[in-house]
Amino acid sequence: MNIQRIGLIGHGEVGKIFSAGLKDKPGVAAVFVWDLKLADPLAQAAEQAHAAAAGVTAQPCAQALCEASDLVISAVTASNTLAVAQEAARFIRPGAVFLDLNSASPGTKQQCAALIDAAGAHYVEAGVMTSVPPYGIRVPMLLGGPQAAKLAPLLAGWGMDARAVSDQLGVASAIKMCRSIMIKGLEALVIESYAMARAYGVEDQVLPTLQETFPSIDWSAQGAYFFSRVVQHGQRRAEEMRESANTVREAGFEPLMAAAIASKQQWVADQAKAGVFAGVQKGADWQAYADRLLAARSK
């Protein structure tokens, strides 16, 4: 594969990390970014300034980015996965590669692939297996699709931890979604359990029992991390869990747990949007977050 110009659709946390991390890699001549915020008068200036400071080029629209890029990377929220593929398919260059980093179900990824492949480009799905920070572009990811085995060594040459797992679309996404049910489910369980323990004043009894049962985990520190990540990224996690629920349905099961996890993640996101956690400092313990939820409950 001859890839010199990279375009990222999505200039959020992941897009910013990947664009900055790839711009100086061997053989990369230019990195472009596009995000809906670049069309928002209130956010445009800040996004353009960030791109300029990072040494990447903000494009005026998705069409311009696709037409200029040999590799288009989609890094948006799960709910926008298909919409981005639909838009990119209108403008992507024949022979270009479309790398889909988004947390979507196998069925959604297969729909995206059909659109991109029909445009004469090559679709590769990626299952990003953990939070991008603090790994950066070295975050472990699994690739799938007919071109995955060709793309993986190129990405590895840029210092990325990318491994092809199947030439069949949907396998990498299924791995990611199954893992997400467990990880996002643990987050939801911890938030509900810890908040209730705090409400009843029994956390000093509950956490030691968890420590005894699972001694390799620091349950207090893990609780703080789970609370902080869901408060910061609950909306994105809720969307991912709705895609996980779709994955369960596609397998022929009722997504009782995945749907409940999505609801809990969305509820925390809504609390954060309402300002419940305003002023909670980075690195705060889990009790600080739980106390905000309890205070909001009593209003």
> Mean pLDDT, to the nearest integer, of 199-219?
98
Q: What is the mean pLDDT of the chain?
A: 96
- According to the model, what pLDDT value does residue 78 have? 94
- What is the average per-residue pLDDT within 120-143? 96
Residue 134 has pLDDT above 90, yes or no: no
Neighbouring residues of 229: CB distance < 8 A, sequence distance ≥ 6: 131, 187, 237
Q: Stretch 57-78: mean pLDDT, rounded?
A: 97
Q: Is the peptide bond before 134 cis (omega within 30 degrees of 0)?
A: yes
Would you list the domain boundaries of the chain?
Answer: 5-169, 173-297
pTM over 0.75: yes
Per residue in 30-46, pLDDT (tens digit) is 999 999 999 999 999 99
Interval 203-213 mean pLDDT: 98
What per-residue confidence (pLDDT) applies to 155?
97
Structure confidence at residue 298 as a pLDDT band (50, 70, 90): low
Task: Please give the pLDDT value at position 1.
Answer: 82
Chain centroid offset of residue 139 CA: 11
Architecture of domain 173-297: Orthogonal Bundle (1.10)
Burial 227-244 (b: 16+ CB within 10 A, else e): bbbbbbbbbbbbbbbbbb
Query: Confidence class of residue 299 from pLDDT cuts 50, 70 and 90?
Result: low
Q: Which CATH architecture has domain 5-169?
A: 3-Layer(aba) Sandwich (3.40)
Reduced to 3 states (helix: H, G, I; strand: E, B; else coil), residue 210 is helix
Tell me what pLDDT residue 230 has: 97
pLDDT tens digits for range 262-273 = 999 999 999 999
Q: Which residue has the tokens 């889909």?
A: 100
